[in-house]
């Protein structure tokens, strides 16, 4: 962890901001989807990408909040290209509608930033899947699969590298001992909020790694990476009592939102990351995820399990 201003090999540290890591980069002509862009690091990611000339589509559950953010960004950056679209990642129907609407718009897609996340007590999604796993992983898994052809077409036509960025968390270290509880995803009696959140964040890394492997095999010009944004107190942490303590200590140990969005923007836009795929980043530098997160067989098993939940007909053709 490149903390206290110590710079890593990339030249950036935990103190670097999203604006700093994208300084001088021209994203004009790129189009990005940022999920969860109505608050926190998603909002800052959208703002900084727009600042660099990227056409940003804010994929948000609360459209009114999203429009408010859009107006604020346009007030600061009158020439920014920003659109707001509704997306509830806890609902596969909503994900499918979003993807269909996006495809109907005929917009290109260079960057897919899977940023949105939830953390809280036990609950089931509209599709009867434990809410952390449904929102943080399954929703993004389905969204990525549905938009992948659009990304491939954009990359081929523009001859520009597409990038998929999964915002994970160091919390993946606190997943259940076996990593992913395939047979107990909805088991409330053995539920633990921190471990359930960790499981979903572990899934984000495994998803990016397995997707990177498949894209390499296919020979397409699209990368997939994951990252830990840093310890940041945002709305996602409101259900964790320990963050009440962190809030008081935040000025000493936690990142602000501008710093929290740095690694996402770095992985999405920086030329240093060109051609790099299947990696995990912390503080805008390559880092090492947990041993479970590097388990390729677990990643393949998770892929098949995710296909079985989102599109069972494809299971036999998913390898």
pLDDT for position 249: 41
- Model confidence at 234, in pLDDT bands (50, 70, 90)? low
Whether the predicted pLDDT of 53 surpasses 70: yes
Q: Which residues are known to be catalytic?
A: 191
Determine which of 142-146, 148-152, 200-204, 237-241 has the lowest per-residue pLDDT on average. Answer: 237-241
**Among candidate residues 80, 156, 149, 90, the one with its CA nearest the CA of residue 118:** 90
Whether the predicted pLDDT of 254 surpasses 90: no
Q: Region 26-53: what's the mean pLDDT? A: 98
Q: What is the DSSP letter of 134?
A: I
pLDDT per residue over 162-207, tens digit each?
999 999 999 999 999 999 999 999 999 999 999 999 999 999 999 9
Q: How far apart are CA 265 and CA 12, in angstroms?
A: 12
CB atoms within 10 A of CB 104: 8
Whether the predicted pLDDT of 2 surpasses 50: no
Q: Region 87-111: what's the mean pLDDT? A: 98
Question: Average model confidence (pLDDT) for the chain?
Answer: 92
pLDDT for position 313: 74
Q: How far apart are CA 9 and CA 125, in angstroms?
A: 41
SS3 string of 236-305?
HHCCCCHHHHHHHHHHHHCCCHHHHCHHHHHHHHCHHHCCCCCCEEECCEEECCCCHHHCHHHHHHHHHH
CB within 8 A of 169, min separation 6: which ones?
117, 197, 198, 201, 204, 228, 229
- Could you tell me if 86 and 63 are in contact, meaning their C-beta atoms sit under 8 angstroms apart? yes
Q: Region 61-86: what's the mean pLDDT? A: 98
The rounded Cα 146 to chain-centroid distance in angstroms is 16
- Model confidence at 246, in pLDDT bands (50, 70, 90)? very low
- Could you tell me if 98 and 85 are in contact, meaning their C-beta atoms sit under 8 angstroms apart? yes
pLDDT for position 3: 52
pLDDT for position 244: 46
Determine which of 10-14, 232-236, 241-245, 287-291 has the lowest per-residue pLDDT on average. Answer: 241-245
pTM of the model: 0.93
pLDDT for position 231: 86
Whether the predicted pLDDT of 126 surpasses 70: yes
Q: Region 66-83: what's the mean pLDDT? A: 98
Edge to edge, the sheet with strand 82-86 lists 82-86, 55-60, 31-35, 111-114, 162-167, 222-228, 280-282, 285-287
Q: Region 19-25: what's the mean pLDDT? A: 98
pLDDT for position 233: 61
**Among candidate residues 243, 276, 96, the one with its CA nearest the CA of residue 171:** 243
Find the angle CA(222)-CA(170)-CA(19) to the nearest 5 degrees.
60
Residue that wins the pLDDT comparison between 28 and 236:
28
Query: What does each C-alpha distance from 307 to 142, 149, 301, 313 come to in angstroms?
Result: 8, 17, 10, 8
């Amino acid at each position: 962890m490149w903390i206290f201003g110590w710079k890593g090999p990339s030249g950036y540290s935990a103190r670097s901001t999203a604006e700093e890591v994208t300084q001088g980069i021209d994203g004009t002509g790129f189009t990005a989807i940022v999920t969860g862009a109505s608050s926190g690091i998603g909002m800052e990611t959208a703002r900084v990408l727009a600042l660099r000339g990227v056409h940003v589509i804010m994929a948000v559950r609360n459209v009114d909040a999203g429009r408010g953010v859009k107006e604020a960004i346009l007030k600061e950056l009158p020439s920014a290209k920003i659109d707001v679209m509704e997306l509830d990642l806890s609902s596969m129907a909503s994900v499918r509608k979003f993807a269909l609407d996006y495809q109907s718009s005929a917009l290109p897609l260079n960057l897919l930033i899977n940023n949105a996340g939830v953390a809280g007590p036990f609950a089931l999604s509209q599709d009867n899947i434990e809410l952390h796993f449904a929102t943080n992983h399954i929703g993004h898994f389905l969204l990525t699969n549905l938009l992948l052809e659009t990304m491939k077409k954009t990359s081929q036509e523009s001859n520009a590298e597409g990038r998929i960025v999964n915002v994970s968390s160091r919390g993946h270290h606190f997943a259940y001992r076996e990593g992913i509880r395939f047979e107990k995803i909805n088991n409330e009696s053995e539920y633990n909020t921190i471990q359930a959140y960790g499981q979903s964040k572990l899934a984000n890394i495994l998803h990016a790694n397995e997707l990177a492997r498949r894209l390499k095999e296919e020979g397409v010009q699209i990368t997939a990476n994951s990252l830990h944004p840093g310890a940041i107190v945002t709305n996602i942490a409101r259900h964790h009592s320990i963050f009440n303590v962190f809030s008081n200590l935040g000025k000493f140990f936690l990142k602000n939102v501008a710093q929290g969005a740095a690694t996402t923007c770095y992985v999405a836009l920086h030329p240093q990351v060109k051609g790099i795929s299947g990696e995990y980043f912390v503080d805008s530098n390559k880092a090492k995820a947990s041993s479970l997160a590097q388990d390729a067989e677990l990643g393949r098993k998770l892929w098949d399990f995710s296909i079985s939940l989102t599109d069972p007909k494809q299971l036999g053709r998913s390898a």
